[in-house]
Amino acid sequence: MLKSVLGVVGGSGIYDLPGLENAQWIAVESPWGQPSDSVRIGYIGELKVVFLPRHGRGHVYAPSDINYRANIDVLKRCGVTDLVSVSACGSLKEELAPGTFVLVDQFIDRTFAREKSFFGQGCVAHVSMAYPVSPELVDRVEDAAKAEDLSYSRGGTYLAMEGPQFSSLAESQLYRSWGCDVIGMTNMPEAKLAREAEICYSSVAMITDYDSWHPDHGEVDIQAILKVVHDNASNAQSLVARIARDFPVERNACPIGSDKALEFAIMTVPEARDAELLSRLDAVAGRVLKS
């Protein structure tokens, strides 16, 4: 069985977990550029836990400025096998009120200004995104939410918008007509890159507002959002701490093959592959390139 390494990407409030031992910030270099920040690595029992501030400490990167490739590459270099993504989102459904945690299982990607793949000219690969989250990992997140008595909903579609501006009323209504549940700015291309890196992925969307569609709430109110974000932070910390405490030190293979996503994905024949690109793929695709 494979040894588990739990990765967590999100805001600053979740990094100082109770029971986290030998924790230290470590700068990890990536051939894909500068990651958002150093990683904070520690242990809960025998489980290695790796935290990465998605926006950097102090929230210095806007969603479009985050180097998602470097972030996922760094987590892979740290040995992360399972990644829990925690992010603030708007609700597109009446029943999903602010304060609810949504364990999303599908995405619609409407971003357009971001690098979305580790692969390209010189080494082409196509991974499946039909099932972008790992169900066993979501089971563990759900178990933790139940144990901490948090308000949550399992399942739903996350609409990833470019930002940094919030939606217009027309956009918000359009996304509701598509059947989307939440809207955010950071889970794409994060989920796609995690898939390419063969890391099991799950997303916890922390609802802060009703976007701009709700007739009783109108436009997004930043002050109201910040209050809910503050209230959500302690719940997010409790959730992540419980996930880590209960996480198995050894793990089974992912039932949907997230940990083997590159098995037959690389299309470029070996003799036509670009050596420089291959050197940058040493962590992300090392398992398949070596074989």
Q: Return the sign of the alpha-carbon dihedral for residues 26, 32, 33, 35.
A: negative
> Residue 12, annotated ligand binder?
yes
The tokens for 3 are: 């040894």
Assign 133 to helix, strand or coil. Answer: coil
Helix, strand, coil in percent for the chain, rounding step 5: 30, 25, 45
Q: How many CA atoms lie within 13 A of 271 on its CB side?
A: 0
DSSP string computed for 263-276: TTTB-S-GGGS-HH
CA-wise closest residue to 114 among 169, 70, 168 = 70
Domain total in the chain = 1
* Known catalytic residue at 139: no
Q: What are phi and psi of 152, to 5 degrees?
A: -145, 165
Residue 209 annotated as catalytic: yes
Q: Choosing from 82, 109, 211, 259, which is the catalytic residue?
A: 211
The two three-digit tokens of residue 215, written as one number: 């007739």
Q: Is 88 annotated as a binding residue?
A: yes
73 is in an annotated binding site: no
CA–CA dist 8, 246 (Å, integer) = 15
Asked whether residue 185 is marked as a ligand-binding residue, the answer is yes
What pLDDT score was predicted for residue 220?
56
Question: What CATH number should be reported for the domain holding residue 165?
Answer: 3.40.50.1580
Catalytic member of 109, 181, 209, 259? 209
pLDDT in tens, the chain (291 residues): 789 999 999 976 677 787 899 999 999 999 999 999 999 999 999 999 999 999 999 999 999 999 999 999 999 999 999 999 999 999 999 999 999 999 999 999 999 999 999 999 999 999 999 999 999 999 999 999 999 999 999 999 999 999 999 999 999 999 999 999 999 999 999 999 999 999 999 999 999 999 988 876 555 566 767 777 777 888 999 999 999 999 999 988 999 999 999 999 999 999 999 999 999 999 999 999 987
* 87 belongs to an annotated ligand binding site: yes
pTM for this entry: 0.95
230's tokens: 């503050």
Find the domain containing 209 and state its range.
2-290
Q: So what's the pLDDT on residue 216?
A: 67
Report d(CA 160, CA 157) in Å as an integer.
10
Q: Give the C-alpha separation, 253 to 276, whole Å.
A: 31
